[in-house]
């Protein structure tokens, strides 16, 4: 053997030894990462316990006298009927929930064919924080413009108002508090359906009547019920998290009296859609055995600490932030991003939930998206271990979210008392995360057991079409 070959052999041997050490080091860190993320893995026993707590909270929430004790409020929506397929005519829908809003026209022809068109309008910042009358005047300006373009008069309107409301009738809902950057003066505590109707009445040329005020969860159920008559549960898994379902009206407290009683004391007949406000589950401490130290960091830094606890474990508003907090914790323990400053990763909100969905979209042995996104958030030259760790954290956080969402649907499905249970689901996380819908479906079925079949179906445009269909059902 020549001296040159001998030197090359020694060099390769040293390199091989270094690679072996690096591999062993990464293996130890990998095991440590798995151990730190163990609390995100919920056993079947834990999930069944959570589901049982949810069922008890639902039972309390339905009773007006116990509602304050429950984190799940079960508010009546006053939506008593779902679409039958016999609805016909022209209807308008107004969808307000952010800096843009939509006006929609839904036409149901004699043959039952549904057609719709819509237009998006902006809400100027000055209107979002101005006087309430100015907001509703602006909404009516846009409704008037939209209706005149299409020659619509005397058309019923459904209003999707995606802010916390206390429903007092199908077309009456009092705003509890503004969110999403809105702070219009003189609206909180008032009936938004009535305020919109008053603004419409000041424009006699429109002749539009507000028939319903709903939230997007109710709209999701109603929209799917047009296609699937046996739909009985509505779920939003997007920026927020909520569940509604069809309940016996006699069980719903807080309408005219306790436990679905009329003014005359008779039990209410028929059914009613109940808005559970399930995202608030956990506010009475029911999820303390499930929350991790990382969840508590996210909660403490949120606008409303201690509120909407389940939503902070499930929804798209928080999952990306939770992943960011976990990664920072692992870095401080020397388990990832070794030797790099990661300044951008320290910024709150630097990991949106869409990044979690994109990282999860990589194939089993591919880390292309993980590498690209890490570089985008300021982690230079991420290693194979870095990419694998990020993907593992995304998977752990996403899987727990899907399992908790499944527990909520299973708890509600047990009250529906029918099989199959058809649940209409919408929301960006359910739509765009590559595995969330499948995991949620499988776990919901497992929790319910063989006696009850469940089907999670994607619902289209609940906040638009759903609102118009509610207006159609009460025409």
Residues 52-69: tens digit of each pLDDT: 999 999 999 999 888 889
CATH of the domain at 316: 3.40.367.20
User: Do residues 425 and 459 touch, judged by C-beta distance below 8 A?
Assistant: yes
Please indicate, yes or no, whether residues 300 and 391 belong to a single structural domain of this protein.
Answer: yes
CA distances from 381 to 330, 359, 457, 460 (A): 18, 17, 41, 41
Question: How far, in whole angstroms, is CA 281 from its chain's centroid?
Answer: 14
Q: pLDDT tens digit string along 220-260?
A: 999 999 999 999 999 999 988 999 999 999 999 876 444 44
| Residue 88 pLDDT exceeds 90 | yes
User: What does the mean pLDDT of the chain come to?
Assistant: 90
Mean pLDDT of 45-49: 97
Choose one of 193, 214, 235: the last residue of a domain: 214
User: Do residues 106 and 114 touch, judged by C-beta distance below 8 A?
Assistant: yes
Choose one of 192, 214, 236: the last residue of a domain: 214
Which residues are bridge partners to 245 per DSSP?
233, 274
Helices 316-332 + 353-360 axis angle, to 10: 80
| Residue 7 pLDDT exceeds 90 | no
Please indicate, yes or no, whether residues 308 and 366 belong to a single structural domain of this protein.
Answer: yes
Neighbouring C-alpha atoms within 13 Å toward the C-beta of 46 = 13
d(CA 423, CA 221): 8
pLDDT number for residue 34: 95
> Residue 433's closest CA among 365, 372, 377, 362?
362
Please indicate, yes or no, whether residues 348 and 399 belong to a single structural domain of this protein.
Answer: yes
User: Do residues 112 and 83 touch, judged by C-beta distance below 8 A?
Assistant: no
Number of separate domains in the chain: 2
Q: Would you say the C-alpha torsion 299, 303, 308, 312 has a positive or negative sign? A: negative
Please indicate, yes or no, whether residues 285 and 309 belong to a single structural domain of this protein.
Answer: yes
| Residue 212 pLDDT exceeds 70 | yes
Please indicate, yes or no, whether residues 58 and 85 belong to a single structural domain of this protein.
Answer: no
How many percent of the chain have pLDDT more than 90?
75
d(CA 323, CA 236): 21
| Residue 5 pLDDT exceeds 60 | no
d(CA 175, CA 215): 12
CA distances from 316 to 18, 83, 267, 436 (A): 42, 30, 40, 11
Choose one of 214, 237, 253: the last residue of a domain: 214
Residue ranges making up the domain that contains 400: 39-75+227-459
pLDDT number for residue 258: 40
Residue with token string 């179906």: 457
Catalytic residue list: 180, 216
> Residue 148's closest CA among 206, 192, 64?
206
| Residue 265 pLDDT exceeds 50 | no
Provide the whole-model pTM.
Answer: 0.88
In this predicted structure, which of 7-16, 88-97, 362-371, 459-468 has the lowest mean pLDDT? 7-16
Radius of gyration of the chain (CA): 26
CATH of the domain at 159: 3.30.420.40
Q: pLDDT tens digit string along 375-425?
A: 999 998 899 999 999 999 999 999 999 999 999 999 999 999 889 999 999
Please indicate, yes or no, whether residues 89 and 47 belong to a single structural domain of this protein.
Answer: no
240 within some domain: yes
Four-point Cα dihedral 158, 437, 85, 88, nearest 10: 30
User: Do residues 311 and 240 touch, judged by C-beta distance below 8 A?
Assistant: yes
d(CA 167, CA 77): 6
d(CA 157, CA 475): 10
pLDDT number for residue 269: 74
Who wins on pLDDT, 318 or 18? 318
Please indicate, yes or no, whether residues 312 and 166 belong to a single structural domain of this protein.
Answer: no
Mean pLDDT of 34-44: 96
28 within some domain: no
> Residue 153's closest CA among 212, 89, 207?
207
Please indicate, yes or no, whether residues 273 and 346 belong to a single structural domain of this protein.
Answer: yes
469 within some domain: no
The DSSP element (H or E) to which 5 belongs, if any, is: helix 3-36
Angle at 418 between CA 417 and CA 421, to 5 degrees: 115
């Amino acid at each position: 053997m020549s001296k040159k070959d001998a030197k090359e052999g020694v060099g390769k041997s040293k390199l091989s030894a270094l690679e072996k050490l690096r591999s062993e080091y990464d293996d130890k860190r990998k095991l440590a990462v798995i151990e730190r993320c163990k609390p995100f893995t919920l056993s079947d026993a834990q999930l069944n316990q959570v589901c049982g707590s949810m069922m008890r909270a639902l039972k309390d929430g339905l009773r007006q006298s116990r509602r304050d004790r429950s984190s799940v409020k079960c508010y009546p929506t006053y939506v008593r009927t779902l679409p039958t397929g016999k609805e016909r005519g022209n209807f308008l829908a107004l969808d307000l929930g952010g800096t843009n809003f939509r006006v929609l026209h839904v036409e149901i022809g004699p043959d039952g064919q549904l057609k719709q068109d819509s237009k998006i309008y902006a809400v100027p910042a000055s209107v979002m924080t101005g006087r309430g009358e100015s907001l509703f005047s602006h909404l009516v300006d846009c409704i008037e413009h939209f209706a005149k373009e299409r020659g619509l008069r005397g058309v019923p309107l459904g209003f999707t108002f995606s802010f916390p409301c206390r429903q007092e009738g199908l077309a009456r809902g009092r705003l509890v508090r503004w969110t999403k950057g809105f702070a219009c003066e003189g609206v909180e505590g008032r009936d938004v359906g009535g305020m919109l109707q008053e603004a419409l009445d000041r424009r006699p040329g429109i002749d539009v009547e507000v028939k319903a005020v709903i939230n997007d969860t109710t709209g999701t159920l109603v929209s799917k019920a047009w296609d699937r008559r046996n739909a009985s549960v509505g779920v939003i898994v997007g920026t927020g998290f909520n569940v509604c379902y069809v309940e016996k009206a006699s069980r719903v407290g807080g309408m005219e009296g306790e436990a679905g009683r009329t003014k005359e004391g008779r039990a209410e007949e028929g059914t009613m859609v109940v808005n559970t406000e399930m995202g608030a589950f956990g506010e009475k401490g029911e999820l303390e055995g499930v929350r991790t130290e990382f969840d508590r960091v996210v909660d403490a830094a949120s606008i409303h600490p201690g509120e909407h606890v389940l939503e902070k474990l499930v929804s798209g508003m928080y999952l990306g932030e939770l992943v960011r907090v976990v990664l920072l914790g692992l870095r401080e323990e020397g388990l990832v991003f070794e030797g790099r400053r990661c300044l951008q990763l320290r910024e709150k909100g630097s990991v949106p939930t869409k990044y979690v969905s994109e990282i999860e979209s990589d194939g089993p042995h591919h880390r292309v998206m993980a590498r690209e996104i890490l570089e985008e958030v300021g982690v230079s030259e991420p290693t194979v271990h870095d990419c694998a760790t990020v993907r593992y954290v995304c998977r752990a956080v996403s899987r727990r979210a899907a399992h908790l969402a499944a527990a909520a649907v299973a708890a509600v499905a047990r009250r529906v008392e029918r099989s199959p249970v058809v649940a209409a689901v919408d929301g960006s996380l359910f739509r765009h995360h590559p595995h969330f819908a499948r995991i949620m479906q499988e776990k919901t079925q497992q929790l319910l057991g063989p006696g009850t079949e469940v089907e999670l179906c994607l619902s289209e445009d609940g906040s638009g079409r759903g609102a118009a269909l509610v207006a159609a059902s009460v025409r």
